[in-house]
Amino acid sequence: MAQGVEQKECFSDEAFIELRDIIYKASGIFYSESKKYLLESRIQKRLVTLKLRTFHDYVEYIKNPLNKDELKLLFDVITINETYFFRAEQQFEALEKIVFPEIIRNKDSLSSPIVKIWSAASSTGEEPYTIAMIILEKVKPLYPKVQFQILGSDISNQVLEAARNGVYKDYSVRNMPENYLKKYFVVKDGLYYLKDEVKSIVRFTNINLFEPSQVRMVGSCDVIFCANVLIYFDIVAKQKVVSLLYEVLNPGGYLFIGYSESLHGVSKAFKLVHLPRAIAYKKE
Ligand SMILES: C[S@@+](CC[C@H](N)C(=O)[O-])C[C@H]1O[C@@H](n2cnc3c(N)ncnc32)[C@H](O)[C@@H]1O
């Protein structure tokens, strides 16, 4: 108890502001005063691992150029990685029925067209793998000549490692249609192992959306999913990230964001498109 009190007092406003600014400058993730307690509980894990006593010690540690890898480990503990298969059901339906056919039609003159899809904050991989399964199941049979490239990326190496492993618990598959579960997973000891057939068509890499050079490296995309990550940024960071996404999107390409997110006040560059059961942002 006494130790708990001591540690609470250790996270001074000064240390909080310094750490908050370090995180914001590096990633766009913004911790408001009201989220101080959340940051505190997450950083606590790093303090224990590093055997540091106070948050001030941690600030000094992370500022030291000798410890430049600490920022990457910090991203593992401060990011919120909630996701599951078929989370954005209506968006995936629109992708399959409207967006892919339209994009493929526009590439009709090419002998072997490539459609590139980027899941830009893919966490443990459920989102890009859902897209991969829909392509295998519904889209590829209609367009056998089209090559689909799927990239999943995240700022956290820990979730990227889990994504590459492709082993999931009940929570992740709770919204998954039964036929997909049966066809694309092997169930063993209560775990769901994604088959190589799906894993092999998604590539994962670390991309910080707040770093222009990293985003530009992705190259041109036809579809971008950037879902449930803009909520962690402030308005300035949202504007910066969304304008970078606009840059790498092909004309005619689509951006999908989370159901609770909006580009209102963030960007006027896109055309808001009402699809049957979802909305998307199109680059004209
Ligand atoms: C809540 S998950 C969303 C997962 C998935 N897109 C979905 O909607 O189910 C948010 C992810 O964004 C990642 N993230 C946060 N800031 C980021 C940044 N600056 N660059 C890239 N990824 C970031 C987090 O690591 C986390 O895995």
- Do 65 and 99 belong to one domain? no
Cα 145 to middle of ligand 1, angstroms: 32
What six digits make up the tokens of 25?
């400058």
Segment among 43-52, 121-130, 190-199 with least mean pLDDT:
43-52
Give the mutation target among 122, 123, 202, 204 for probing the ligand 1 site: most ligand atoms within 8 A of CB: 123
pLDDT in tens, 88-126: 999 999 999 999 999 999 998 878 899 999 999 999 999
- Do 178 and 123 belong to one domain? yes
- Do 51 and 97 belong to one domain? no
- Do 66 and 115 belong to one domain? no
- Do 122 and 70 belong to one domain? no
Indicate whether 84 belongs to any domain: no
Indicate whether 83 belongs to any domain: no
- Do 278 and 161 belong to one domain? yes
State residue 7's pLDDT score: 45
Of 78, 106, 125, the position where a domain reaches its end is: 78
Cα 98 to middle of ligand 1, angstroms: 26
- Nearest residue by C-alpha to atom 17 in ligand 1: 155
What residues make up the domain containing 53?
2-78
- Do 122 and 235 belong to one domain? yes
Give the residue ranges of DSSP H helices in 28-88.
36-50, 55-63, 70-78
Domain CATH code at residue 62: 1.10.155.10
Predicted TM-score (pTM) of this structure: 0.96
pLDDT in tens, 118-171: 999 999 999 999 999 999 999 999 999 999 999 999 999 999 999 999 999 999
User: Has residue 8 got a pLDDT over 60?
Assistant: no
Q: Which atom of ligand 1 is nearest to the CA of 226?
A: 6
State residue 282's pLDDT score: 98
- Do 146 and 243 belong to one domain? yes
- Alpha carbon distance 215, 159 (integer Å): 19
- Do 206 and 174 belong to one domain? yes
Q: Sheet harboring 249-257: ordered strands across?
A: 202-206, 147-154, 114-119, 221-226, 249-257, 278-282, 271-275
- Do 181 and 125 belong to one domain? yes
Give the residue among 224, 227, 228, 217 at the shortest CA–CA distance from 246: 224
Q: Does any ligand 1 atom lie closer than 6 A to the CB of residue 194?
A: no
- Alpha carbon distance 252, 181 (integer Å): 33
CA distances from 14 to 55, 60, 75, 212, 252 (A): 10, 12, 21, 29, 47
- Do 70 and 100 belong to one domain? no
Domain CATH code at residue 165: 3.40.50.150
- Domains identified in the chain, total number: 2
Q: Does any ligand 1 atom lie closer than 6 A to the CB of residue 121?
A: yes
Indicate whether 197 belongs to any domain: yes
Q: Which atom of ligand 1 is nearest to the CA of 119?
A: 6
Indicate whether 100 belongs to any domain: yes
- Do 102 and 238 belong to one domain? yes
Indicate whether 243 belongs to any domain: yes
- Alpha carbon distance 16, 231 (integer Å): 20
